Amino acid sequence: MSTIVLNGRELSQTLLKEQQIQVEEIVRLKGRPPGLAVVLVGQDQASETYVRNKRGACAKVGIFAPDINLPADTPQKELEAIIDRLNADPSIDGILVQLPLPSGIEKETILYRIDPAKDVDGFHPVNVGKLVIGLETLAPCTPTGIMTLLDRYHIPVSGKNAVVLGRSLIVGKPMALLLMARDATVTVCHSRTAHLMEETRRADIVVAAMGKPLMVNRDFIKPGAVVIDVGISRNQEGKLVGDVDYAAVAPVASAITPVPGGVGPMTIATLLDNTIRAFCLREGISLQLARTPS
């Protein structure tokens, strides 16, 4: 049995091409492109790279993405005033405040000030609540991108045993909700889980998002399982590695995401998708979306 490598880099390029066509149609219909404000506070090096990649992807598809870079010592009140301005700005459909924020800024106060209709991260309690209920909403980009990856590779989810490793608000919890919404049987594991390996060995789909480099080895995985690696860390040689030991796990998995080039690029493509969706919801239009056949 050969293992399918779930190539998020390649798929994200396909999605970006589809989005470019959607943006052209939006401009024809409404006279302006969708707008995404990516707010960067401080000079965290990893964040600078992520933000550059996000803005670069926007430029590629024609989404308006003004640079909003603020010093690390920006006062809380000033950042709140900037969010208020972006909430009121008709050219802005999505607002993303890059995390982590410098110490001294209260994260929740900032994130929950974003208009839920512009909350392309899906972090606002209104959007989290809608996701729980099963209403149409903007859901967090990484787990939504993983669902897109599974779908575009025709990997069935309904009725499958899915184990999510990690219970963060950004990945683990929304991942569990999205899988449940698609009729998977979902188990969420975390640092206090008693018999972790027993849980993962029952899984048809494993999503590793606990931020522990190379923790998932061959013994965690049932032969033929689908393995999704959300982790991203640097090892001692400075090489990027995931939460999954790819070399050990790939031979037993039926499908697996590489690091880098798996989940990461899907997150960015999904951010653009969410921006286009926020535009359409706000403007009350629905697009007959182009989709590349697979």
Active-site positions?
54, 98, 121
Q: Can residue 146 be called a binding residue for ligand GUN (CB under 6 A)?
A: no
Residue with tokens 């190379």: 214
| Binds ligand GUN by CB under 6 A, chosen from 86, 170, 178, 196 | 170
Q: Can residue 179 be called a binding residue for ligand GUN (CB under 6 A)?
A: no
DSSP string for residues in 104-161 = TS-HHHHHTTS-GGGBTT--SHHHHHHHHHT-S----HHHHHHHHHHHHTT---TT-E
CB of 3 to ligand GUN, least distance (A): 28
How many chain residues interact with ligand GUN (CB under 6 A)? 8
* Residue 25, amino acid: E
When computed from its CA atoms, the radius of gyration of the chain, rounded to whole angstroms, is 19
Residue 208 to residue 141: CA distance in whole angstroms: 16
CB of 169 to ligand GUN, least distance (A): 10
Region binding ligand GUN by CB under 6 A among candidate stretches 14-22, 92-100, 145-153, 284-292: 92-100
Residue with tokens 């569990």: 176
Q: Give the contact letters, 97-116, x = binds to ligand GUN (CB under 6 A), - = no.
A: xxx-----------------
Instruction: Using CA atoms of 271, 276, 278, 282 in order, give the dihedral in degrees to the nearest 10.
Output: 170
CB of 122 to ligand GUN, least distance (A): 9
Region binding ligand GUN by CB under 6 A among candidate stretches 65-73, 74-82, 96-104, 131-139: 96-104
DSSP string for residues in 46-84 = HHHHHHHHHHHHHHHHT-B--EEEE-TT--HHHHHHHHH
Q: Can residue 232 be called a binding residue for ligand GUN (CB under 6 A)?
A: no
Q: Can residue 96 be called a binding residue for ligand GUN (CB under 6 A)?
A: yes
Name the residue nearer to ligand GUN (CB basis): 131 or 203: 131
Token digits of residue 243: 């939460």
**In the range 115-134, which residues lie near ligand GUN by CB under 6 A?**
121
Q: Which residues contact 88 (CB under 8 A, 6 or more apart)?
A: none
CB of 87 to ligand GUN, least distance (A): 16
